[in-house]
Structure 1
Amino acid sequence: MLDGIKKQLEKVKTTNNVKTVTLAVAKLEQKMVGMQRTVAQQIDNSLAIKNEIKNADISNKRMIPELNQKLKEMIEEMTRIRQKQNELERKLSTRNQENEQNFLAQINGFEQQIGLYDVRIADMDQRFQVLETTSYSGVALWKINNFQRRKREAESGRALSIYSQPFYTSRYGYKMCARVYLNGDGMGKGTHVSLFFVLMKGEYDNLLPWPFRQKVTLMLLDQGLERRHLSDMFRPDPTSSSFTKPTSDMNIASGCPLFVAHNLIEGSSYVKDDVIFIRIHVDTTDLETF
């Protein structure tokens, strides 16, 4: 009788091990399918962006083959992982108790590899977003998600400021971005959102007039029906180092430390679905284009 009970317990243990391995394989399969869809979407994005920026600046052109190469490498590696996974599934059909733990260890190893690819995909997603949102008209529309969390991070000192994506006055013009301090900077610290304009080092700076003299308008967009946008405008001080030809990646930011008070936007239609929109407009009417 004891022998019979032992056999039943062993059968239950084996069944549980089999279920564990089967669930692990199914989980891995779901991750693989999700990653394949993401990579396929990025391939489509890459082709679309390549067509859109045939005449774009050199730095963006250089990014396309680099991203394509990374996508190709990831597809090849995922194919190898898929082959290993299929091999595991074949072994699973002739499994025994001794090798089930080995299966789980191999599956855990594959999950770690997939985790690394998730990080690489996130990095490429960010690069694609930069390419897709690049403006060459002197106007940038900046969407800032997770406003409340980012504001708390600014208050705690974890992330004092955020930079926008770069934008340009033309395809061969000035390179620029915006910088926002959601908990304020300088005179606005703790009471205001501070918004600044930043000149960046560009590919065609040697062809452009310096110092930078274009009028800049900074705007917080009202997402409500009344569209009471808040804006401030300034003309660059030609004696300021913020507007000379950049010698490093970017110049010192210049703008509005008292751009908008916290109590004016909290609970208002300037923040909707935890999102704010900032618009930066650089006057390009008197600029020479190449």
Structure 2
Amino acid sequence: MKTNEVLKLSQFTEKKEEDKEWFSPGFYTSQGGYKMSLRVISNGNGEGKGTHVSCYIHLMAGEYDDALEWPFQGVVTIELLNQLEDRNHWKHFIPIDESIEDEVKQRVKEGRSTSGRGPPKLISHKELKYKPATNCQYLKDDSLYFRVSVKVTSKTKPWLVGASRII
């Protein structure tokens, strides 16, 4: 099952100027699935510092973790949404598989993983502005909208699948 979580980052300019990072509220990949959070660094980091928006997905401790297979494996899609119409969204795919370092995909016992996975150069600051030729604008009213989709390839433990509620 695939999830689509739409997240709004407000006060982009302030976060960019003050070099602040933003974490989304936690969300689940599906009912009974993995818990994640999106981290956005408005002024970029690493090779994107000062010129790009950076985005990373982080695993979180979730209430269904005992019923899930670890390490997590799947593909996370981050889309920066065009706020003028439903096309020309900026899309980036993040495969998380056996080739990825363990701290990104292992079970988190408490809170959020300190290691995330994603592009340090998701989009340049110049690309955020209105472009009349494509009727595209990512930054509007000092806000960005992200859609996170997750296609999980790791599985639940079949004998625990019914345990989607904690009593």
TM-score of the superposed pair, with normalisation by structure 2:
0.80
- In structure 1, which of residues 219, 230, 242 is the aligned counterpart of residue 90 of structure 2? 230
- Conservation of the 8 A alpha-carbon contact between 1:219 and 1:229: yes
Match of 1:266? 129
Structure 1 residues 83-116: Cα deviation after superposition (integer angstroms, max 9, x where no partner): xxxxxxxxxxxxxxxxxxxxxxxxxxxxxxxxxx
Match of 1:59? none
- Which protein, 1 or 2, shows the higher relative CO under an 8 Å CA cutoff with sep ≥ 6? 2
Using the TM superposition, give the Cα deviation of residue 276 of structure 1 relative to its aligned residue in structure 2, in angstroms.
Answer: 1.1
Using the TM superposition, give the Cα deviation of residue 225 of structure 1 relative to its aligned residue in structure 2, in angstroms.
Answer: 3.5
Using the TM superposition, give the Cα deviation of residue 190 of structure 1 relative to its aligned residue in structure 2, in angstroms.
Answer: 0.7
Distance 1:208 1:272, change over 3 A: same
- How far apart, CA to CA, are the structure 2 residues paired with 1:152 and 1:266? 17
* Structure 1: tracts of 5 or more residues without a match: 1-135
- Conservation of the 8 A alpha-carbon contact between 1:138 and 1:167: no
- How far apart, CA to CA, are the structure 1 residues paired with 2:108 and 2:23? 17
- Conservation of the 8 A alpha-carbon contact between 2:74 and 2:97: no
Which amino acid letter does the alignment assign opposite residue 48 of structure 2? G
- How far apart, CA to CA, are the structure 2 residues paired with 1:137 and 1:272? 28
Using the TM superposition, give the Cα deviation of residue 151 of structure 1 relative to its aligned residue in structure 2, in angstroms.
Answer: 1.8
Q: Give every structure 1 segment of 4 or more consecutive aligned residues whose post-TM-superposition deviation is greater than 6 Å.
A: none
Using the TM superposition, give the Cα deviation of residue 258 of structure 1 relative to its aligned residue in structure 2, in angstroms.
Answer: 0.9
- How far apart, CA to CA, are the structure 1 residues paired with 2:79 and 2:38? 11
What is the DSSP-based 3-state SS (H/G/I as helix, E as strand, rest coil) of the residue aligned with 1:138?
A: strand
Distance 1:226 1:199, change over 3 A: closer
- How far apart, CA to CA, are the structure 2 residues paired with 1:259 and 1:187? 11
Which amino acid letter does the alignment assign opposite residue 122 of structure 2? F
1:37-56 aligned within 5 A:
none
What is the DSSP-based 3-state SS (H/G/I as helix, E as strand, rest coil) of the residue aligned with 1:197?
A: strand
Match of 1:149? 14
Which amino acid letter does the alignment assign opposite residue 259 of structure 1? L
- In angstroms, what is the RMSD of aligned CA positions? 2.1
Which amino acid letter does the alignment assign opposite residue 120 of structure 2? P
Please identify the structure whose Cα radius of gyration is greater.
Answer: 1
Using the TM superposition, give the Cα deviation of residue 137 of structure 1 relative to its aligned residue in structure 2, in angstroms.
Answer: 6.1
- How far apart, CA to CA, are the structure 1 residues paired with 2:130 and 2:42? 15
Identity in percent: 35
The alignment of Structure 1 onto Structure 2 pairs a total of residues equal to 150
- How far apart, CA to CA, are the structure 2 residues paired with 1:209 and 1:202? 13
- How far apart, CA to CA, are the structure 2 residues paired with 1:286 and 1:237? 9
- How far apart, CA to CA, are the structure 2 residues paired with 1:138 and 1:165? 15
- How far apart, CA to CA, are the structure 2 residues paired with 1:166 and 1:203? 12
TM-score of the superposed pair, with normalisation by structure 1:
0.48
Match of 2:145? 277
- The structure whose residues are more often strand, as a share, is 2
Larger deviation, residues 172-181 vs 144-153: 144-153
Using the TM superposition, give the Cα deviation of residue 138 of structure 1 relative to its aligned residue in structure 2, in angstroms.
Answer: 2.6
